[in-house]
Amino acid sequence: MPAVIATARPPAGQRPLVLLDPEPSARWLGWAVLPVVLVSLVLLGWASAQMVQPYRPGTPLLLTLDPRQLPELLLRTSLRMLIALAASLLFAALFAVSAARSRLAERVLVPLLDVLQSIPVLGFLTLTVTGFLALFPGRLLGVECAAIFALFTSQAWNLAFSLHQSLRSVPSELHEAARIFQLSGWQRFWRLELPLATPALLWNLMMSVAGGWFFIVASEAITVSGRDIKLPGVGSYIALAIEARDLGAIAWAIVTMFVGLLLYDQLLFRPLLAWADRFRFEEGAGSAPPRSWLLRGLRRAPLLGAIGHGLTQPLRWSLQHWGRRTDGLSPSARPRGAPVWHDRLTDATLLLAAGLSTGALLHWLQSRLGWAELVEVLLLGSLTLARVLVLITLAVLVWVPVGVWIGLNPRWSSRLQVVVQFLAAFPANLTFPVAVMVLLHWRLDPDVWLSPLMVLGTQWYILFNVIAGAAAIPEELRLAAASLGLRGWLKWRRCLLPAVFPSVVTGAITASGGSWNASIVAECVTWGDTTLQARGLGSYIARMSEAGDFARLVLGIAVMCLFVMVLNRLLWRRLYRLAEQRWHG
């Protein structure tokens, strides 16, 4: 999207933002990437055609542990991931812009996003798979849509929080400059806000893809209300290997997942990072710009350039001709005083609606299950809450220093990018053989030693956000800290921690929500016919989902939403406002 910024005609007297091609004579690379693009399009077209095949509910799909199937399975999983990622980006843009521009929208949308983030992937699948099957009767597309929607729920909330935090953190003097130049809201978004948000958004884009891989087993191997549907894909292959206790197939799945992440890095993320380098406001001393062979080839391919120019022409036209007046206050220009009467009315309305909904839900649950069941589930939620708080605290203490170091060293950032993506995407299910063997051999307590599986994939939300925040620290601030002789803890307290604190909070919010979601996988571990369970809300939801007990499943999801929202309101949002008001006001 932000390519519009670089290709639109600049105002008179301004130098256009164009990244010059350092090797204009190497025209061969432009022709070399054409087969790559054409083959990719053909393969994606073939995978798209597989989505609309006939399908009868209850009929098992042909899936074996033959490793020769893995290239096809990887292609189909990658297509689902791309579709979910595109939908997640669109959702994040709509949410972030609406919440950042309107106080009323923010008061409604941010709590709504808290609720959506707290609903687990299994909850979305349970509530939507039947509807998608009915929407596309007799076609596999219904199950495909359910899997894509589940992947969407594992990616969208992180991107929405990241983009919203970036829009709220735009310096007020830049918004003042936008008003002086009479930019409309549309132009302000494309020329100012999105370029500033692009570095953090790209890192969170990688994290969202990794999060999709983390929940790929739950998305493709759907077990709901006695239904066992395994879509052809890497996730269902892993689920089948776990059922068969086939360590060789697990190893093949790990290799395939690494190849998939490497392809994502080379064909998507690295070109985006190299392209987004044009939006840096200053050049760091000694920092080499990211490079991408694919981006260099695309820039030298005349045919692809003409196609891209035609596709972006409507966006360039809208950028140049839509409105010249600034509409609405910028996020940082809103009044910060006491809320006016309509803000209080909005809060009262939201509280009333929440109270009525909660009362109706409690009445329904009490009539179906009784208060004893509710008390038991609340106690299980408290156990999971303790695990989440301890694990997120440990993850912050470990990964904030590492993320700052990586973000301040662009060379290492480029080298470790694929490694971090692979670790973040590593599904907890692939650790089940080791977890079961270790716990049984040493007779360890599952309530304690299954807990690290909850943060296995979600801790990387913190690392990715801190890397993006550290990489965005202005070079002038680093030089000022060096000239003042700031070292050790004093440098961290006065310079580095304030600079990355908003990113730490954003990462902690998404990691906390992801840990609650991951508890469903981590607190109930199965390897073949051996099952180990930790007492907690996650294992409760997993059992009720597999048994098809709708009432208890709704109770578990409702309690998880309650815990996540209370934690966000009492802890994470207060830290979020502190970061915004103290260091980005």
Mind giving me the DSSP string for 527-565? ETTEEEE-SSHHHHHHHHHHHT-HHHHHHHHHHHHHHHH
Cβ neighbours of residue 70 under 8 Å, at least 6 residues apart? 234, 237, 252, 253, 256
Integer Cα distance of 493 and 481 in angstroms? 11
Q: 426 in a domain, yes or no?
A: yes
The answer for 527, left when phi > 0, alpha when psi is -120 to 50, beta otherwise, is beta
Sort 434 into a burial class: Cβ within 10 Å, 0-12 / 13-18 / 19+: exposed
Q: 528 in a domain, yes or no?
A: yes
| Confidence (pLDDT) at 307 | 61
The pLDDT profile of the chain, 585 residues, written as one tens digit per residue, is 333 333 344 444 444 444 444 444 455 666 677 777 778 888 888 888 888 888 887 677 778 899 999 999 999 999 999 999 999 999 999 998 888 888 778 878 887 887 787 788 777 887 788 888 888 888 889 889 999 999 999 889 889 988 887 888 777 788 788 888 877 777 788 888 888 888 778 877 887 888 788 788 888 988 765 667 889 999 999 989 988 989 999 999 999 998 998 888 888 888 888 888 777 655 444 456 677 878 787 777 666 656 655 555 565 555 455 444 434 444 444 444 445 556 667 667 766 776 777 777 777 777 888 888 989 999 999 999 999 999 999 999 999 999 999 888 877 777 777 787 787 777 777 888 888 888 888 989 999 999 888 888 788 889 888 988 888 788 788 888 888 888 888 888 888 988 899 889 888 887 888 888 889 888 988 887 888 999 999 999 988 887 878 889 889 988 988 888 888 878 887 887 787 666 554
- Domains in the chain: how many in total? 1
| Confidence (pLDDT) at 281 | 56
Integer Cα distance of 177 and 181 in angstroms? 6
Digit-coded pLDDT (tens) for 306-323: 665 555 556 555 545 544
Q: 339 in a domain, yes or no?
A: no
Print the domain residue range for 375. Answer: 84-291+364-583
| Confidence (pLDDT) at 10 | 45
Helix, strand, coil shares of the chain, percent, nearest 5, are 75, 5, 20
Instruction: Kindly report each contact of residues 123-126 with a partner whose C-beta sits within 8 Å and lies 24 or more positions away, as own/partner.
Output: 123/541, 123/545, 123/553, 123/557, 124/149, 124/150, 124/153, 125/150, 125/218, 125/219, 125/222, 125/224, 126/224, 126/225, 126/545, 126/550, 126/553
| Confidence (pLDDT) at 285 | 43
| Confidence (pLDDT) at 19 | 40
Burial 232-244 (b: 16+ CB within 10 A, else e): bbbbbbbbbbbee
Q: Which two tokens stand for residue 571?
A: 């802890």
Integer Cα distance of 284 and 153 in angstroms? 36
What is the SS3 assignment for 509? helix
| Confidence (pLDDT) at 235 | 92
Question: How many of the other CB atoms lie within 10 Å of CB of 361?
Answer: 13
Q: 533 in a domain, yes or no?
A: yes
Q: 28 in a domain, yes or no?
A: no
- Taking alpha carbons only, the member of 558, 308, 270 closest to residue 413 is 270
Element (H, E) at 255: helix 247-264
Q: 516 in a domain, yes or no?
A: yes
| Confidence (pLDDT) at 314 | 61
Integer Cα distance of 432 and 429 in angstroms? 5
Q: 189 in a domain, yes or no?
A: yes
Question: How many of the other CB atoms lie within 10 Å of CB of 37?
Answer: 17
Sort 154 into a burial class: Cβ within 10 Å, 0-12 / 13-18 / 19+: buried
Place of tokens 């790559």: 36
| Confidence (pLDDT) at 280 | 65
C-alpha atoms less than 13 angstroms from C-alpha of 45 in its C-beta half-sphere:
6
CATH number of residue 232's parent domain: 1.10.3720.10
Amino acid identity of 540? Answer: Y
Q: 559 in a domain, yes or no?
A: yes
| Confidence (pLDDT) at 222 | 80
